[in-house]
Amino acid sequence: MSKKIKLLSIGIIAVALLASCAPVTCPQNCDSQRLMNVSGNGQVTLVPDIAYINIGVRTEADDVSTALNGNTAQAADISDKFAAMGVEEKDIRTTSFNVYPRQKYDTKGEVSETTYVVENTIYVTVRDLTQLGKLLDTAVKAGANNIYGISFDVEDKTAAVEQARDLAIQDARAKAESIAAAAGVSLGELQTINVYSSGGAKPYPVGRDVGMEMAYAEVPVSAGTLVITVEASLIYEIK
Protein backbone atom coordinates (compact mmCIF):
# COMPACT_ATOMS: atom_id res chain seq x y z
CA MET A 1 0.00 0.00 0.00
CA SER A 2 1.41 3.43 -0.91
CA LYS A 3 2.05 6.16 1.65
CA LYS A 4 -0.72 8.31 0.11
CA ILE A 5 -3.29 5.53 0.50
CA LYS A 6 -2.21 4.91 4.13
CA LEU A 7 -2.66 8.60 4.99
CA LEU A 8 -6.09 8.62 3.34
CA SER A 9 -7.18 5.56 5.35
CA ILE A 10 -6.02 7.14 8.62
CA GLY A 11 -7.93 10.30 7.77
CA ILE A 12 -11.17 8.38 7.14
CA ILE A 13 -10.83 6.51 10.46
CA ALA A 14 -10.23 9.79 12.31
CA VAL A 15 -13.33 11.39 10.78
CA ALA A 16 -15.41 8.31 11.72
CA LEU A 17 -14.18 8.44 15.33
CA LEU A 18 -14.98 12.13 15.61
CA ALA A 19 -18.48 11.53 14.20
CA SER A 20 -19.16 8.74 16.70
CA CYS A 21 -18.15 10.99 19.59
CA ALA A 22 -20.26 13.93 18.48
CA PRO A 23 -23.04 14.91 20.93
CA VAL A 24 -26.59 13.78 20.04
CA THR A 25 -28.93 16.71 19.63
CA CYS A 26 -32.52 16.55 20.98
CA PRO A 27 -34.95 18.31 18.65
CA GLN A 28 -37.44 18.82 21.50
CA ASN A 29 -34.91 20.09 24.03
CA CYS A 30 -35.45 16.94 26.07
CA ASP A 31 -32.58 17.67 28.50
CA SER A 32 -34.46 20.65 29.94
CA GLN A 33 -37.98 19.19 29.64
CA ARG A 34 -39.53 17.94 32.88
CA LEU A 35 -42.22 15.30 32.51
CA MET A 36 -44.81 13.55 34.66
CA ASN A 37 -46.16 10.09 33.78
CA VAL A 38 -49.48 9.08 35.36
CA SER A 39 -51.93 6.25 34.80
CA GLY A 40 -55.67 5.98 35.37
CA ASN A 41 -58.29 3.27 35.42
CA GLY A 42 -61.88 3.23 34.21
CA GLN A 43 -64.40 0.41 34.66
CA VAL A 44 -67.94 -0.15 33.44
CA THR A 45 -70.03 -3.13 34.55
CA LEU A 46 -72.41 -4.72 32.08
CA VAL A 47 -74.94 -7.53 32.16
CA PRO A 48 -74.17 -10.07 29.40
CA ASP A 49 -76.77 -10.37 26.67
CA ILE A 50 -75.24 -13.18 24.61
CA ALA A 51 -73.61 -16.56 25.22
CA TYR A 52 -71.41 -18.94 23.23
CA ILE A 53 -71.42 -22.69 23.89
CA ASN A 54 -69.38 -25.55 22.44
CA ILE A 55 -71.32 -28.80 22.32
CA GLY A 56 -69.55 -32.06 21.58
CA VAL A 57 -71.13 -35.11 19.96
CA ARG A 58 -69.02 -38.29 20.09
CA THR A 59 -69.97 -41.61 18.50
CA GLU A 60 -68.09 -44.91 18.27
CA ALA A 61 -68.78 -47.97 16.13
CA ASP A 62 -67.11 -51.00 14.58
CA ASP A 63 -66.96 -49.35 11.17
CA VAL A 64 -66.50 -45.77 9.97
CA SER A 65 -69.81 -45.52 8.14
CA THR A 66 -71.87 -46.45 11.19
CA ALA A 67 -69.96 -44.01 13.38
CA LEU A 68 -70.34 -41.21 10.82
CA ASN A 69 -74.03 -41.82 10.23
CA GLY A 70 -74.78 -41.96 13.95
CA ASN A 71 -72.83 -38.77 14.64
CA THR A 72 -74.45 -36.91 11.74
CA ALA A 73 -77.91 -37.93 12.90
CA GLN A 74 -77.29 -36.78 16.49
CA ALA A 75 -75.76 -33.45 15.42
CA ALA A 76 -78.65 -32.83 13.03
CA ASP A 77 -81.16 -33.65 15.76
CA ILE A 78 -79.54 -31.13 18.10
CA SER A 79 -79.53 -28.45 15.39
CA ASP A 80 -83.18 -29.13 14.51
CA LYS A 81 -84.27 -28.92 18.15
CA PHE A 82 -82.34 -25.68 18.62
CA ALA A 83 -83.95 -24.22 15.50
CA ALA A 84 -87.36 -25.16 16.87
CA MET A 85 -86.48 -23.21 20.04
CA GLY A 86 -85.70 -20.06 18.05
CA VAL A 87 -81.94 -20.33 17.44
CA GLU A 88 -81.18 -19.04 13.96
CA GLU A 89 -79.34 -21.19 11.43
CA LYS A 90 -76.43 -18.72 11.23
CA ASP A 91 -75.86 -19.17 14.97
CA ILE A 92 -75.25 -22.93 14.70
CA ARG A 93 -72.04 -24.11 13.04
CA THR A 94 -69.53 -26.94 13.21
CA THR A 95 -66.09 -25.86 14.44
CA SER A 96 -64.30 -29.21 14.43
CA PHE A 97 -64.86 -32.67 13.03
CA ASN A 98 -62.54 -35.60 13.77
CA VAL A 99 -62.54 -39.26 12.70
CA TYR A 100 -59.96 -41.70 14.09
CA PRO A 101 -59.55 -45.40 14.90
CA ARG A 102 -59.35 -46.62 18.49
CA GLN A 103 -57.52 -49.86 19.11
CA LYS A 104 -57.59 -52.25 22.03
CA TYR A 105 -54.68 -54.56 22.80
CA ASP A 106 -54.52 -58.00 24.38
CA THR A 107 -52.06 -59.21 26.99
CA LYS A 108 -49.50 -59.95 24.26
CA GLY A 109 -49.61 -56.38 23.00
CA GLU A 110 -51.38 -57.26 19.80
CA VAL A 111 -54.45 -55.45 18.46
CA SER A 112 -57.54 -57.30 19.61
CA GLU A 113 -60.21 -54.84 18.48
CA THR A 114 -60.48 -51.72 16.34
CA THR A 115 -63.35 -49.29 16.53
CA TYR A 116 -63.86 -45.90 14.90
CA VAL A 117 -64.60 -42.67 16.73
CA VAL A 118 -66.25 -39.58 15.27
CA GLU A 119 -66.19 -36.32 17.22
CA ASN A 120 -68.19 -33.30 16.15
CA THR A 121 -68.13 -29.92 17.95
CA ILE A 122 -71.05 -27.56 17.41
CA TYR A 123 -70.54 -23.87 18.22
CA VAL A 124 -73.81 -22.17 19.16
CA THR A 125 -74.51 -18.48 19.70
CA VAL A 126 -77.36 -17.97 22.16
CA ARG A 127 -79.00 -14.55 21.94
CA ASP A 128 -81.86 -15.28 24.34
CA LEU A 129 -80.18 -16.10 27.65
CA THR A 130 -83.48 -17.11 29.22
CA GLN A 131 -83.35 -20.16 26.91
CA LEU A 132 -79.79 -21.17 27.78
CA GLY A 133 -80.63 -23.76 30.43
CA LYS A 134 -83.29 -25.37 28.24
CA LEU A 135 -80.91 -25.45 25.27
CA LEU A 136 -78.26 -27.29 27.28
CA ASP A 137 -80.83 -29.73 28.58
CA THR A 138 -82.12 -30.31 25.06
CA ALA A 139 -78.60 -30.89 23.71
CA VAL A 140 -77.85 -33.51 26.36
CA LYS A 141 -81.12 -35.34 25.78
CA ALA A 142 -80.46 -35.31 22.02
CA GLY A 143 -77.11 -37.05 22.41
CA ALA A 144 -74.49 -34.42 23.27
CA ASN A 145 -71.64 -36.02 25.22
CA ASN A 146 -69.71 -32.92 26.21
CA ILE A 147 -70.32 -29.27 27.00
CA TYR A 148 -66.86 -27.80 26.54
CA GLY A 149 -67.68 -24.43 28.04
CA ILE A 150 -69.96 -21.43 28.02
CA SER A 151 -68.74 -17.88 27.47
CA PHE A 152 -70.90 -14.85 28.25
CA ASP A 153 -70.44 -11.57 26.46
CA VAL A 154 -72.08 -8.31 25.45
CA GLU A 155 -72.77 -8.16 21.73
CA ASP A 156 -72.10 -4.43 21.37
CA LYS A 157 -69.55 -3.06 23.85
CA THR A 158 -68.73 0.12 21.93
CA ALA A 159 -70.50 2.58 24.24
CA ALA A 160 -69.19 0.83 27.37
CA VAL A 161 -65.59 0.92 26.12
CA GLU A 162 -65.88 4.62 25.31
CA GLN A 163 -67.33 5.34 28.76
CA ALA A 164 -64.57 3.35 30.49
CA ARG A 165 -61.95 5.15 28.39
CA ASP A 166 -63.29 8.57 29.42
CA LEU A 167 -63.30 7.52 33.07
CA ALA A 168 -59.70 6.29 32.80
CA ILE A 169 -58.50 9.56 31.26
CA GLN A 170 -60.36 11.59 33.89
CA ASP A 171 -58.81 9.45 36.62
CA ALA A 172 -55.30 9.91 35.23
CA ARG A 173 -55.73 13.67 34.85
CA ALA A 174 -57.08 14.00 38.41
CA LYS A 175 -54.03 12.13 39.71
CA ALA A 176 -51.69 14.37 37.70
CA GLU A 177 -53.34 17.53 39.04
CA SER A 178 -53.19 16.22 42.61
CA ILE A 179 -49.51 15.29 42.32
CA ALA A 180 -48.64 18.64 40.73
CA ALA A 181 -50.45 20.54 43.50
CA ALA A 182 -48.67 18.54 46.20
CA ALA A 183 -45.30 19.15 44.53
CA GLY A 184 -45.92 22.87 44.02
CA VAL A 185 -45.71 22.74 40.25
CA SER A 186 -48.23 23.19 37.44
CA LEU A 187 -49.07 20.96 34.51
CA GLY A 188 -48.02 21.94 31.03
CA GLU A 189 -49.06 20.51 27.69
CA LEU A 190 -50.18 16.91 27.42
CA GLN A 191 -47.34 15.16 25.59
CA THR A 192 -48.61 11.61 24.97
CA ILE A 193 -51.67 9.51 25.76
CA ASN A 194 -52.14 5.73 25.48
CA VAL A 195 -55.20 3.64 26.32
CA TYR A 196 -55.54 -0.12 26.75
CA SER A 197 -58.84 -1.96 27.08
CA SER A 198 -59.78 -5.38 28.42
CA GLY A 199 -62.93 -7.28 29.25
CA GLY A 200 -63.96 -9.93 26.74
CA ALA A 201 -66.16 -12.98 26.94
CA LYS A 202 -66.53 -14.37 30.45
CA PRO A 203 -66.09 -18.16 30.62
CA TYR A 204 -68.40 -20.34 32.68
CA PRO A 205 -66.72 -23.54 33.98
CA VAL A 206 -68.94 -26.25 32.54
CA GLY A 207 -66.41 -28.07 30.35
CA ARG A 208 -66.69 -31.77 31.17
CA ASP A 209 -68.35 -34.98 30.12
CA VAL A 210 -71.99 -34.28 30.87
CA GLY A 211 -72.88 -37.93 31.26
CA MET A 212 -76.33 -39.11 32.25
CA GLU A 213 -76.62 -37.09 35.46
CA MET A 214 -77.65 -34.01 33.44
CA ALA A 215 -79.93 -35.77 31.01
CA TYR A 216 -83.21 -35.25 32.84
CA ALA A 217 -82.90 -31.88 34.51
CA GLU A 218 -82.70 -28.38 33.11
CA VAL A 219 -79.23 -26.96 33.69
CA PRO A 220 -79.16 -23.83 35.91
CA VAL A 221 -76.74 -21.22 34.53
CA SER A 222 -76.16 -17.65 35.70
CA ALA A 223 -74.54 -15.11 33.38
CA GLY A 224 -73.38 -12.76 36.17
CA THR A 225 -71.75 -9.52 35.08
CA LEU A 226 -69.00 -8.47 32.71
CA VAL A 227 -66.50 -5.72 33.59
CA ILE A 228 -65.02 -3.56 30.83
CA THR A 229 -61.69 -2.08 31.96
CA VAL A 230 -59.63 0.61 30.25
CA GLU A 231 -56.20 1.81 31.40
CA ALA A 232 -54.95 5.26 30.36
CA SER A 233 -51.35 6.45 30.49
CA LEU A 234 -50.74 10.21 30.22
CA ILE A 235 -47.46 12.14 30.08
CA TYR A 236 -47.58 15.84 30.96
CA GLU A 237 -44.94 18.52 30.78
CA ILE A 238 -44.21 20.09 34.16
CA LYS A 239 -43.92 23.86 34.33
pLDDT digits (tens, 9 = 90+) for 81-131: 999 999 999 999 998 899 999 998 888 888 889 999 999 999 999 999 999
Model confidence at 80, pLDDT cuts 50, 70, 90, reads very high
Instruction: Give the model's pLDDT for residue 221.
Output: 65
Which one-letter amino acid corresponds to residue 203?
Answer: P
Percent of the chain at pLDDT > 90 equals 62
Cα dihedral sign for 204, 207, 208, 210? Answer: positive
Superfamily of domain 49-154+201-221 in CATH is Protein of unknown function (DUF541), domain 2 (3.30.70.2970)
Among the ranges given (93-97, 157-161, 211-215), the one the predictor scored with the smallest mean pLDDT: 211-215
SS3 of 227, please? strand
Percent of the chain at pLDDT > 70 equals 77
Please tell me the pTM assigned to this model.
0.67
Counting other chains too, the contacts that 213-218 makes at CB distance below 8 Å and 24 or more residues apart are 214/136, 214/137, 214/140, 215/140, 215/141, 216/141, 217/137, 218/133, 218/134, 218/136, 218/137
For the ranges 104-108, 172-176, 196-200, the one whose mean pLDDT is highest: 172-176
